[in-house]
Structure 1
Amino acid sequence: MTAVIRRATPLDAPDLAHLAALTFPLACPPGTTDEDIAAFIAGNLTAAHFAQHISQPDTRVIVAQDAPLIHDDSRAPSTTPGRLRGYVLLIGGQLGAPAPEFGVRAARSAYLSKFYVHSSDHGGSVSRPLLAAACEAGRELGAGSLWLAVNQLNARAIRFYEKSGFERVGVKTMQVGAELHSDFVYEFAL
């Protein structure tokens, strides 16, 4: 099914939180406890968090959503909204600026904080359009590059980012519950 790529609205916040709860565990390395994952989701990926991100002027939340179905009898689109299949959270301005030790080279860079796609869409047609929309949003925010961090054990995501033209430039850590995870930092020139 074709996905519509669009900017999220406040009405999307509950569905974004639901999708985030499904997809965040997929990016966690083996051994991350269910308790730590649940605590991270509760502390960072709720509907209230997404509503806050959506309202920020230097932040873009972009979703991939099933295209409305076309009824054969009328050729009119269904009024039933499609499910969210993926999302990106891009943070520009000062909040999105990387720490100098991360190795990001662009003077102005936007942080691709979240890039998640439903497991049923891995390897499908959602990730590339979402990445293209994130790049466009980064340019709108005045960024010269996008940067992100990906867990060093997340081979699938690393392959996708490298195949898409991201270059590994550094390392950082990320706290998930009681565990400190090691991440690679990648940069993509816009």
Structure 2
Amino acid sequence: MITYRDARTIDGPALSAMARRSFTETFGTLYRQSDLAAFLDQAFGANGLAAQLSEPDFAIRLALADDQIIGFVKMGPVTFPGEWRPDAIELYQFYVLSPWHGSGVAQEMMAWALEHARSHGAREVILSVYVDNHRAHRFYERYGFRDIGRIAFRVGETVDDDNLMRLVL
């Protein structure tokens, strides 16, 4: 049985481990080991994802199976360079472990993310997605997200292209 709840600070280590696993299973073959390790430490180390659990600007929703984190979505203020509407919100990370792809977890978490955005007065949701992550592109497009540009995404010393996407609520 899959359950959903808001993340708590005590979830930090388990959430970071799940995020590392998910990123590595999805993108691990694209990068040199040193680049991947640097990114994982920066994004999911002690000062990354786990530290944001206690920051009031961020909201993180978890999907759990047998009390194990199998997915999460993180929302917060827009940090991409450029001019953004004051009522925009960013969807930072949206990860589901591969055994649960196609199980409805992603749809449930997207429903939460969009409701969270609306209930906090957001009029648009902004996200970035790796240009070659076609599965994620199709998923976001089903919800009405549209490409609005490109942005550099750094993984260690490697710089990738991400598409910026926007959904007007």
Task: Return the TM-score normalized by structure 2.
Answer: 0.90
Change (3 A) 1:113 1:37: same
Which has the higher mean CA deviation after the structures are superposed, 38-47 or 175-184?
A: 38-47
Q: Give 2:70's aligned residue.
A: 85
Change (3 A) 1:29 1:109: farther
Deviation per residue, 1:55-75 (Å, 9 max, x gap): 111210111112xxxxxxxxx
SS in 2 for 1:186: strand
Change (3 A) 1:140 1:53: farther
SS in 1 for 2:74: strand
- Written as runs of structure 1 = structure 2, the 5 A alignment for 1:49-64 is 49-64=48-63
Q: Give 1:11's aligned residue.
A: 10
8 Å Cα contact 2:15/2:50 also seen in 1:
no
Instruction: Report the alpha carbon displacement of residue 31 of structure 1 after superposing the two structures with TM.
Output: 3.1
Distance in 2 (CA, whole Å) between partners of 1:97 and 1:49 is 15
- Written as runs of structure 1 = structure 2, the 5 A alignment for 1:1-190 is 1=1, 3-28=2-27, 31-66=30-65, 82-92=67-77, 96-100=78-82, 106-190=85-169
Which amino acid is the alignment partner of residue 130 of structure 1? M
Which amino acid is the alignment partner of residue 87 of structure 1? F
Which has the higher mean CA deviation after the structures are superposed, 148-157 or 24-33?
A: 24-33
| Structure 1: tracts of 5 or more residues without a match | 67-80
SS in 2 for 1:100: coil
SS in 2 for 1:150: strand
8 Å Cα contact 1:13/1:48 also seen in 2:
no
Distance in 2 (CA, whole Å) between partners of 1:188 and 1:29 is 28
- RMSD of the alignment, in Å? 2.0
Task: Return the TM-score normalized by structure 1.
Answer: 0.81
SS in 1 for 2:12: helix
Aligned identity (percent) is 30
What stretches of structure 1 move > 6 A for 4+ residues in a row?
none
Change (3 A) 1:150 1:10: same
Which amino acid is the alignment partner of residue 22 of structure 2? T
Distance in 2 (CA, whole Å) between partners of 1:62 and 1:47 is 19
Q: Is the radius of gyration larger for structure 1 or structure 2?
A: 1
Kindly tell me the number of residue pairs found equivalent between the two proteins: 169
